[in-house]
Amino acid sequence: MFSNLFRKTPLAWRQLMKEKTRLVVAVAGITFADMLMFIQLGFESALFDAAIQPHRNLQADLVLINPQFQTLFSVKSFSRERLYQTLGYEGVQSVNSVYIGTGQWRNPETRLDRAILVWGIDPAQSAFKFPQVQQNQDHLKQLHQVLFDQAGRPEYGAVGQIFQEKGNFQTELNNKAVNVRGVFSNGASFAADGNVITSDSTFLQLFPDRQSDRIEVGLITLKPDADPETVRSQLAAGLPKDVIVLTPEGFAQTEKEYWAEGTGIGFIFGLGVGVGFIVGIVIVYQILYSDVSEHLPEYATLKAMGYSDRYLLGVLLQEALFLAILGFIPAFFLSFGLYQVTYAATMLPISMKVDRAITVFILTIIMCSFSGAIAMRKLRSADPADVF
């Protein structure tokens, strides 16, 4: 493909290569604009993925929640009776319940308290897909035992390191002594800087004002031959309207939509992408406009020879395409490396995705093509008779 471009359009390529300093500046500018878009889209995706990671790791085929649920940091409870009612529907094999609350974790080193998301589960049933949780879940059968999210914010203390060095150790949660019996990795998110998993019995002792028959999430496991969507539709039609039935992914999307649409976060990241796009347009336009201005006599000669504005526009668009490709390649690899550094420093689930790379590449082509079309205005206004 690219070899055909070079054979058919040597004029565009030669004009770019004639002024190598200008070419380097143009490529650097496009690379900067692309990196800005990559960074904004990457961080947005990583933060949203972090926010819905616990939802996607729930061990369930269907999820029952309060219809007013929006986000984990402000959950709404519902009657456990609704969860038990689902056992009367064909295709439902078993149910499990989860309590969610925000507690105060005491850093074992500094003794400072910090808010943390607490999950209360039945230790006799699997509630999460995290391998470390499943391996250590039996420890939760004793009261005041917890599993700590070692990928949370460092302000909670070096709990993972302490656990590896000393094994079980004691700290406080909601001013009550608890023993850390294991660690797992989920990570910080919009809703919480960290997570703790404990048994439902311990949860009710940590939150004495909570009612045992009011839960935040109901987990529904279906029989192997049951169709999730069919069962979900039956439950949605038969259960009272004080609960809704979702797939785990649908549950995750509810959280994502809250942060993307119910807050200014989505707008802020979108604005960042827009700024990068505009910066790229300005840079490429300046380069192409300067190129047209310098070679105006040559372009006028071509017009006098009978070459149409369409042909000249094609030359500019081909230059823009070359610039888009040359600027995108270093931006891709630099952003890929930046993602790796960010992941190592923050544990955010940030990585290069194919759809994001394609999106930025398409935006780069549009950005450069639009700039070329604007620069063409100077050629259209140029009269060969005025030039000579």
What are the tens digits of pLDDT across the range 111-126? 999 999 999 999 999 9
Domain contains 56: no
Q: Which long-range contacts (CB under 8 A, 24 or more apart) does 270-278 make?
A: 270/40, 272/36, 272/37, 272/39, 272/40, 273/36, 273/37, 273/40, 273/41, 273/363, 275/36, 276/33, 276/34, 276/35, 276/36, 276/37, 276/40, 277/33, 277/37, 277/363, 277/367
Instruction: Please tell me which of 12-26, 323-337, 340-354, 372-386 the model is most confident about, judged by mean pLDDT.
Output: 323-337
Same domain? For 357 and 328 the reply is: yes
Same domain? For 12 and 147 the reply is: no
Please identify, among 246, 274, 298, the residue that sits at the C-terminal boundary of a domain. Answer: 246
Domain contains 257: no
Domain contains 256: no
Same domain? For 192 and 72 the reply is: yes
Model confidence at 3, in pLDDT bands (50, 70, 90)?
very low
Beta strands in 107-162 (DSSP E): 113-121, 145-149
Same domain? For 309 and 182 the reply is: no
388 closest CA partner among 306, 304, 292:
304
Domain contains 107: yes
Domain contains 346: yes
Tens-digit pLDDT profile for residues 340-368: 888 777 667 788 889 999 999 998 888 88
Task: Name the residue with tokens 């616990």.
Answer: 54
Tens-digit pLDDT profile for residues 183-208: 999 888 877 889 999 999 999 999 99
Same domain? For 79 and 44 the reply is: no
Tens-digit pLDDT profile for residues 103-113: 999 999 999 99
Same domain? For 150 and 215 the reply is: yes
List residues bridging with 198 in a β-sheet.
Answer: 120, 146
What are the two backbone dihedrals, phi and then psi, of residue 63, each rounded to the nearest 5 degrees?
Answer: -130, 135
Domain contains 219: yes
Please identify, among 246, 273, 291, the residue that sits at the C-terminal boundary of a domain. Answer: 246
pTM value is 0.77
Same domain? For 89 and 210 the reply is: yes
Domain contains 178: yes
Residue 298: both structure tokens together: 């040559």
Q: Report the DSSP pairing between strands 62-65 and 217-222.
A: antiparallel
Distance CA 178, CA 172 (A): 5
Question: Using DSSP, how many helices (H) and how many strands (E) does the chain show?
Answer: 14, 11
Percent helix, percent strand, percent coil in the chain, to nearest 5: 60, 15, 25
Same domain? For 32 and 159 the reply is: no
Q: Specify the range with the lowest mean pLDDT, choosing from 4-8, 168-172, 182-186.
A: 4-8
> Which pLDDT value is given to residue 12?
66
Domain assignment of residue 217, given as a range: 62-246
Model confidence at 2, in pLDDT bands (50, 70, 90)?
very low
Same domain? For 23 and 153 the reply is: no
Higher pLDDT, 16 or 118: 118
- Number of structural domains found in the chain: 2
Please identify, among 190, 211, 246, the residue that sits at the C-terminal boundary of a domain. Answer: 246
Same domain? For 271 and 236 the reply is: no
Contact present, 114 and 105 (Cβ < 8 Å): yes
Same domain? For 303 and 375 the reply is: yes
Distance CA 76, CA 67 (A): 8
Q: Cα 192 to the chain's mean position, in Å?
A: 16
Same domain? For 110 and 35 the reply is: no
Model confidence at 383, in pLDDT bands (50, 70, 90)?
low
Domain contains 327: yes
